[in-house]
């Protein structure tokens, strides 16, 4: 059996052994420590970053900058030639997608292709790095690491309405190229900087993105500990490239990170306090007082109008309405006298004098009552179920559960004609009868989530009728029959009442059934809430409060009042936002610092010895300002150039976005178990450059994208399939499917729908049907934000942790529950279904079709301009024109679909719904439908969502 893998499971630091409170220190552990020290002394990532001289190469002409020397040296060693540069159209598209996450406009492409200046490429790079959209694209990469989301997570998953303020900061900080060391310090310890600016406080929102469990019964201490674990783990993974989490419960199996090391890091975050503070955006504060005063004046005016209407008009109308309101009893009801009663679980059902039925005896968890009765009414239009209080029932009933409640899960009515002589028979056999279709189920009262209709239109998992806390009262439920029952000799009803399927003894204790012959419709409005109670009070006895509630209820259904109120609400939405309402989630240090203890097995209920703030022993020592180090010292230690990990980890993460994989493939594990760098010297050279360049991220981006390595063609190299299948040697660029947000942005950009505003709050997008059913937060459905903001970039999509927007998740967006340092890139049928059929994508296709027809209107002699529009479609979507081998295909598609829609005008009309087209012009409709279909085809191409 293979056992060598367990070697090194226990690797305790010396510090731990000395400080440990337990007696035994087996010699094996000491041996292990020596072993680990030996390992760590050799492990590349813990060595100082080395100054590196770029090597000499043979093919000097290929070199754009020093990056290429390292890459080419390796290729030359392997005898592999690099790939030729990509063509200019591919290059500009690549740059746009990588730096901005948006496609270039056709005009940008044309200008770049025509620009013969040798500096053109570099000029373009500078221009793109200056774009505000750069912060959006690279901000998203950072937000993955920051596990940014707009909700708390866990079962309840309540919203975090202020989370976006941190995202806003990230976008803005990247756009002003805040140096990475400062970027780091502000996020980890902005609150501890001397006189921190508002922005520096907002930056600490990084560590507010942890999940928090606000469920009733969740242990707040446990939740705080979990958040602190997450803050520790995330810090280690994001900046140090170490998966520290394992050491939470035990010493890290492979790496020289002991449990004490872990809790030493943990201690830095143990006294973190969460604090939401005002963080107005500059544009919000300008002119606010004036705008607010104007608003107040206008708003008060319209409020007065509404008040007048209520006082002088609505109150009279409400009185009249209440006086003439038909009652649920208005139909004439005739009680049924059952002659057969049964309860499936053996309870006793007794018919009482008033023809009500009382259940007694055992109380099973669930039961089904069957009642058979006949009626001689010639025409029967509906049925009434009364549930009645009774002294023998818990809480007076009418239910039998300990609270007097019940759950009528299913209510079935069957009917059949009976011959006259049959009516007197006492114990009939039960022949099959016709099940009646029941309409308009209404109850005088129901728990808000358990209406009577739930018992009629049953669906698996849906509940039936319950009355909630209104026990001890009579309640009434009525249904109509779709087809009235008409039998001259009488009708026999078989009524089946399934109850308590949830299994909580929720059975009906006392009830009565009646039928009516009143002509349809006899139902009355179901009045909910307190208005129903107060309407039951005789008019003369109503108090002021009663009338007020009745008036409110009346208004809520009065078209005139609703009109006025609508104007009030519309006005209210225009209220200028108080800048101080813009809050940011930040952290601060508690006044009383917590004494950190190591938790056995990571279990917060098992605190052990005290641990002091410290950084892992294997890394350079921490310099602290005071005796007791704090988060600011930690942050400065992280970005100290002597730290061997931070710069390497950071440049590797940036590199992997450009080439699909990092120089170290295990971008989240620079420890002993991680992969070796493919180009160790290049990694160190880049890290040095990064530090020497003042940690400027834009400078690093420019360095990478201006290299010849980056500009290579991504054409697949079949000659390297065996020797370098994963393109580790970088003999070509890599075709990369763009990230989920960019998939969305591309559709919006090419169709012209894109809302290019930068920053600001999140947008709740409408979800496809079925996406949110049964999600944890179904009790708090997300309300889609219609209109404004619907076409903003993917980065602004509201991220609800338990029900994230499927359009993002299908394309492998981060789950944002824990830090994500690299996304998967899958290719699945789900993606194809989404691209083809999602309503949003189809909107993009329609807008794109509209755009083509609108921008290139019919001309004399050329009414459809197929070639122009096809060229434009390709330029917009793929930044190129159709190739020679594609033209016949495309023209064929045009002709095929134009012919199809000419022959099927009603289908063309369906496509053209809500489009700007003359609906009387069949040719125009057919033409626009054709371009929608062609647009849909092109935005479904692989090339559309791939950075080549």
Partner 1 sequence: MHPRQAALLRERRGFLTSCAGGIGGAALASLLGADGLLANDVSDAKAVAPGLHFPAKAKSCIFIYLVGGPSQIDLYDPKPKLAEMAGETLPGSITGDERFGALRKDTARIMPSRYKFQKHGECGMELSELLPNIATCADDIALVRSMHTDAFNHHPGELVMNTGLLRFGYPSLGSWVNYGLGSENENLPGYVVLTAGTATRAGASNWSSGFLPSDHQGLLFRNRGEPVLHLDNPRGICPTVQGNTLNAVSRLNGLNYEHVDDPSIIARIQAYELAFRMQAAVPELVDFSDEQQTTFDEYGFMRPVPDDLRGWEGGNKNTYDDFARNCLMARRLVERGVRFVNVYHSSWDHHSLLVPNLERNCSVVDQPIAALLKDLKRQGLLDSTLVVCASEFGRTPLGENKLGNTNASGRDHQPFAFSLWLAGGGIQGGQTVGQTDEFGWNIVENPIHVHDLHATILHQFGIDHERLTYRFRGRDVRLTDISGRVISELLS
Tell me the three state secondary structure of residue 382: strand
Contact between 214 and partner 1 by CB under 8 A: the answer reads no
Contact between 863 and partner 1 by CB under 8 A: the answer reads no
Of 475, 508, 481, the residue nearest 409 (C-alpha): 508
Tell me the three state secondary structure of residue 123: helix
Burial tier of 215 (Cβ tally within 10 Å: 0-12, 13-18, 19+): middle
Contact between 246 and partner 1 by CB under 8 A: the answer reads yes
CB nearer to partner 1: pick between 351 and 771 = 771
Contact between 676 and partner 1 by CB under 8 A: the answer reads no
Helices 544-555, 315-324: crossing angle, 10 deg rounding: 90
Q: Please, are residues 673 and 45 in contact by the beta-carbon 8 Å criterion? A: no
Contact between 803 and partner 1 by CB under 8 A: the answer reads yes
**Cβ 271 to partner 1, closest distance in Å?**
24
Contact between 412 and partner 1 by CB under 8 A: the answer reads no
Residue span binding partner 1 (CB under 8 A) among the ranges 175-183, 368-376, 613-621, 880-888: 880-888
**Residues for the chain: how many in total?**
948
Q: Which residues in 450-469 contact partner 1 (CB under 8 A)?
A: 460-461
Contact between 672 and partner 1 by CB under 8 A: the answer reads no
The answer to whether the peptide bond before residue 141 is cis (omega within 30 degrees of 0) is no
**Cβ 688 to partner 1, closest distance in Å?**
29
Tell me the three state secondary structure of residue 359: strand
Contact between 838 and partner 1 by CB under 8 A: the answer reads yes
Contact between 744 and partner 1 by CB under 8 A: the answer reads no
Q: Which residues in 296-325 contact partner 1 (CB under 8 A)?
A: none
Cα–Cα distance measured from residue 395 to residue 401, given in angstroms and rounded to the nearest whole number: 9
Q: Which residues in 247-306 contact partner 1 (CB under 8 A)?
A: 249-251, 253
Among positions 839, 862, 899, 921, the unique one binding partner 1 when judged by CB under 8 A: 839
CB nearer to partner 1: pick between 56 and 718 = 718
Among positions 363, 585, 707, 948, the unique one binding partner 1 when judged by CB under 8 A: 948
**Cβ 657 to partner 1, closest distance in Å?**
18
CB nearer to partner 1: pick between 200 and 368 = 368
What are the residues whose beta carbons fall under 8 Å from the beta carbon of 602, sequence distance 6 or more? 229, 248, 249
Contact between 79 and partner 1 by CB under 8 A: the answer reads no
**Cβ 27 to partner 1, closest distance in Å?**
12
Contact between 747 and partner 1 by CB under 8 A: the answer reads no
CB nearer to partner 1: pick between 173 and 878 = 878
**Cβ 818 to partner 1, closest distance in Å?**
10
Residue span binding partner 1 (CB under 8 A) among the ranges 325-333, 338-346, 509-517, 933-941: 933-941
Contact between 805 and partner 1 by CB under 8 A: the answer reads no
How far is CA 604 from each of CA 188, 223, 248, 607, rounded to the nearest angstrom? 24, 10, 11, 6
Contact between 896 and partner 1 by CB under 8 A: the answer reads yes
CB nearer to partner 1: pick between 856 and 912 = 912
CB nearer to partner 1: pick between 329 and 719 = 719
Contact between 735 and partner 1 by CB under 8 A: the answer reads yes
Q: Which residues in 807-826 contact partner 1 (CB under 8 A)?
A: 810, 824, 826
Residue span binding partner 1 (CB under 8 A) among the ranges 272-280, 534-542, 647-655, 896-904: 896-904
Contact between 130 and partner 1 by CB under 8 A: the answer reads no
CB nearer to partner 1: pick between 397 and 660 = 660
H-helix or E-strand spanning residue 611: none
CB nearer to partner 1: pick between 856 and 933 = 933
Q: Which residues in 580-619 contact partner 1 (CB under 8 A)?
A: 600-601, 603, 606, 608
Count CA within 13 A, CB hemisphere, residue 566: 7
CB nearer to partner 1: pick between 420 and 833 = 833
Contact between 933 and partner 1 by CB under 8 A: the answer reads yes
Of 789, 580, 575, 583, the residue nearest 164 (C-alpha): 583
Contact between 746 and partner 1 by CB under 8 A: the answer reads no
Cα–Cα distance measured from residue 575 to residue 569, given in angstroms and rounded to the nearest whole number: 10
Q: Please, are residues 167 and 142 in contact by the beta-carbon 8 Å criterion? A: no
CB atoms within 10 A of CB 630: 17
Q: Which residues in 492-521 contact partner 1 (CB under 8 A)?
A: 501, 503
Q: Which residues in 7-46 contact partner 1 (CB under 8 A)?
A: 7, 9-10, 22, 24, 26, 28
Contact between 698 and partner 1 by CB under 8 A: the answer reads no
Residue 338, strand partner residues: 373
Among positions 834, 872, 898, 947, the unique one binding partner 1 when judged by CB under 8 A: 834
CB nearer to partner 1: pick between 509 and 806 = 806
CB nearer to partner 1: pick between 641 and 768 = 768
Cα–Cα distance measured from residue 708 to residue 67, given in angstroms and rounded to the nearest whole number: 8
Among positions 27, 885, 916, 920, the unique one binding partner 1 when judged by CB under 8 A: 885
CB nearer to partner 1: pick between 98 and 668 = 668
Contact mark string toward partner 1, 418..457, x via CB under 8 A: ----------------------------------------
**Cβ 327 to partner 1, closest distance in Å?**
37
Contact between 773 and partner 1 by CB under 8 A: the answer reads yes
Contact between 226 and partner 1 by CB under 8 A: the answer reads no
Contact between 867 and partner 1 by CB under 8 A: the answer reads no
Contact between 341 and partner 1 by CB under 8 A: the answer reads no
Among positions 263, 481, 842, 931, the unique one binding partner 1 when judged by CB under 8 A: 842
The answer to whether the peptide bond before residue 274 is cis (omega within 30 degrees of 0) is no
Q: Please, are residues 801 and 151 in contact by the beta-carbon 8 Å criterion? A: yes
Count CA within 13 A, CB hemisphere, residue 367: 27
Q: Please, are residues 491 and 374 in contact by the beta-carbon 8 Å criterion? A: yes
Among positions 345, 542, 715, 756, the unique one binding partner 1 when judged by CB under 8 A: 715
Among positions 557, 904, 918, 921, the unique one binding partner 1 when judged by CB under 8 A: 904
CB nearer to partner 1: pick between 222 and 918 = 222
Among positions 285, 716, 854, 919, the unique one binding partner 1 when judged by CB under 8 A: 716
Cα–Cα distance measured from residue 277 to residue 568, given in angstroms and rounded to the nearest whole number: 31
Of 245, 55, 226, 246, the residue nearest 153 (C-alpha): 226
Q: Please, are residues 156 and 214 in contact by the beta-carbon 8 Å criterion? A: yes
Q: Please, are residues 386 and 511 in contact by the beta-carbon 8 Å criterion? A: yes
Question: Which tokens hold the place of 806?
Answer: 């499927």
Sequence-distant contacts of 842-846: CB under 8 A, at least 24 apart: 842/936, 843/751, 843/753, 844/747, 844/748, 844/750, 844/751, 844/753, 844/935, 844/939, 845/751, 845/932, 845/933, 845/935, 845/936, 845/939, 846/751, 846/911, 846/914, 846/915, 846/932, 846/935
Contact between 889 and partner 1 by CB under 8 A: the answer reads yes
Count of residues interacting with partner 1 (CB under 8 A): 92
Tell me the three state secondary structure of residue 374: strand
CB nearer to partner 1: pick between 13 and 517 = 13
Residue 723 gets which letter from DSSP? Answer: T
Residue with tokens 């019964």, as numbered in its chain: 217
**Cβ 747 to partner 1, closest distance in Å?**
13
**Rounded to 5 degrees, what are φ and ψ at 348?**
-95, 130
For every residue of 151-204, which 3-state class applies, written as one string? ECCCCCCCECCCCHHHHHHHHHHHHCCCCHHHHHHHHHHHHHCCCCCHHHHHHH
CB nearer to partner 1: pick between 172 and 669 = 669
Cα–Cα distance measured from residue 661 to residue 714, given in angstroms and rounded to the nearest whole number: 14
């Amino acid at each position: 059996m293979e056992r060598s893998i367990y070697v090194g499971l226990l690797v305790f630091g010396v510090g731990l052994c000395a400080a440990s409170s337990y007696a035994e220190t087996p010699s094996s552990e000491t041996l292990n420590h020596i072993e680990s020290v030996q390992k760590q002394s050799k492990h590349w990532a813990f060595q100082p970053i080395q100054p590196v001289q770029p090597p000499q190469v043979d093919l000097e002409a290929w070199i754009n900058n020093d990056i290429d020397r390292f890459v080419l040296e390796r290729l030359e060693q392997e005898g592999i030639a690099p790939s030729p540069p990509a063509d200019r159209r591919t290059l500009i598209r690549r740059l746009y997608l990588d730096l901005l996450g948006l496609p270039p406009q056709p005009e940008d492409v044309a200008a770049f292709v025509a620009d013969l200046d040798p500096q053109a490429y570099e000029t373009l790079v500078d221009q793109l790095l200056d774009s505000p959209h750069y912060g959006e694209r690279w901000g998203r990469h950072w937000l993955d690491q920051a596990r940014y989301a707009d909700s708390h997570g866990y079962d309840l998953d309540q919203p975090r309405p202020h989370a976006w303020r941190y995202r806003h900061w990230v976008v803005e900080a990247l756009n002003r190229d805040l140096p990475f060391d400062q970027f780091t310090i502000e996020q980890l310890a902005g609150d501890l900087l001397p006189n921190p600016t508002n922005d520096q406080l907002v930056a600490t929102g990084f560590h507010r993105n942890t999940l928090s469990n606000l469920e009733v019964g969740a242990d707040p201490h446990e939740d705080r500990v979990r958040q602190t674990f997450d803050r520790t783990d995330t810090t280690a993974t994001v900046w140090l490239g170490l998966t520290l989490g394992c050491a939470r419960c035990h010493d890290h199996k492979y790496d020289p990170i002991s449990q004490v090391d872990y809790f030493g890091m943990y201690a830095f975050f143990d006294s973190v306090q969460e604090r939401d503070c005002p963080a107005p955006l500059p544009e919000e504060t300008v002119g606010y007082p004036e705008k607010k005063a104007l608003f107040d004046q206008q708003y008060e005016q319209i409020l007065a109008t509404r008040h007048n209407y209520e006082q002088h008009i609505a109150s009279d109308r409400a009185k009249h309405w209440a006086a003439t309101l038909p009652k649920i009893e208005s139909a004439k009801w005739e009680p049924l006298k059952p002659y057969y009663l049964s309860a499936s679980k053996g309870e006793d059902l007794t018919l009482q004098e008033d023809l009500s039925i009382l259940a007694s005896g055992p109380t099973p968890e669930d039961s089904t009552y069957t009642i058979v009765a006949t009626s001689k009414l010639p025409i029967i239009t509906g049925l009434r179920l009364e549930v009645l209080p009774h002294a023998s029932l818990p809480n007076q009933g009418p239910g039998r559960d300990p609270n007097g409640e019940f759950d009528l899960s299913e209510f079935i009515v069957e009917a059949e004609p009976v011959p006259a002589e049959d009516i007197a028979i006492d114990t009939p056999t039960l022949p099959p009868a016709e099940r009646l279709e029941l309409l308009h189920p209404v109850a005088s009262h129901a728990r808000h989530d358990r209406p009577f209709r739930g018992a009629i239109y049953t669906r698996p998992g849906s509940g039936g009728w319950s009355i909630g806390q209104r026990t001890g009262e009579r309640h009434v439920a009525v249904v109509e029959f779709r087809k009235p029952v008409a039998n001259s000799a009488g009708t026999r009803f078989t009524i089946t009442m399934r109850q308590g399927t949830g299994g909580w003894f929720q059975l009906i204790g006392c009830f009565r059934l009646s039928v009516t012959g009143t002509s349809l419709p006899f139902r009355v409005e179901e009045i909910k809430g307190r208005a129903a109670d107060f309407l039951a009070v005789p008019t003369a006895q109503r108090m002021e409060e009663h009338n007020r509630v009745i008036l409110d209820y009346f208004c809520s259904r009065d078209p005139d009042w609703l009109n006025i109120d609508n104007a009030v609400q519309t006005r209210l939405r225009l209220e200028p936002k108080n800048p101080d309402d813009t809050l940011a989630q930040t952290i601060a240090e508690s006044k009383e610092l917590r004494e950190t203890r190591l938790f056995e097995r990571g279990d917060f209920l098992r605190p052990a010895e005290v641990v002091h703030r410290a950084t892992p022993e294997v890394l350079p020592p921490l310099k602290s300002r005071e005796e007791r180090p704090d988060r600011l010292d930690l942050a400065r230690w992280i970005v100290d150039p002597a730290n061997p990990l931070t710069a390497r980890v950071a440049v590797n993460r940036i590199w992997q976005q450009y080439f699909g994989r990092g120089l170290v493939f295990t971008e989240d594990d620079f420890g002993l178990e991680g992969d070796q760098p493919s180009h160790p010297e290049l990694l160190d050279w880049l890290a040095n450059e990064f530090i020497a360049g003042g940690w400027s991220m834009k400078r690093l981006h420019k360095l990478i994208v201006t290299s010849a390595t980056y500009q290579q063609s991504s054409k697949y190299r079949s000659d390297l399939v065996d020797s370098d299948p994963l393109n580790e040697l970088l003999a070509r660029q890599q075709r990369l499917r763009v990230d989920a947000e960019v998939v969305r942005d591309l559709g919006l950009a090419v169709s012209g729908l894109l809302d290019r505003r930068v920053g600001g709050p999140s947008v709740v997008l409408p979800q496809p049907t079925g996406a949110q059913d049964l999600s944890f937060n179904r009790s708090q459905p997300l309300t889609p934000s219609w209109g404004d903001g619907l076409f903003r970039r993917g980065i602004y999509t509201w991220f609800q942790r338990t029900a994230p927007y499927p359009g993002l998740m299908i394309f492998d967006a981060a789950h944002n529950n824990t830090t994500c340092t690299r996304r998967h890139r899958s290719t699945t049928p789900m993606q194809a279904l989404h691209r083809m059929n999602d309503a949003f994508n189809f909107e993009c296709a329609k807008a794109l079709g509209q755009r083509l027809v609108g921008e290139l209107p019919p001309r004399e002699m050329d009414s459809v301009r197929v070639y122009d529009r096809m060229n434009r479609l390709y330029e917009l979507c793929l930044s190129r024109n159709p190739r020679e081998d594609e033209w016949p295909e495309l023209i064929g598609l045009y002709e095929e679909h134009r012919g199809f829609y000419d022959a099927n005008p009603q289908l063309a009309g369906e496509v053209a719904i809500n489009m700007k087209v003359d609906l009387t012009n069949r040719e125009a409709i057919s033409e626009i439908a054709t371009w929608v279909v062609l647009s849909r085809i092109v935005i479904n191409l692989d090339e559309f969502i791939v950075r080549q």
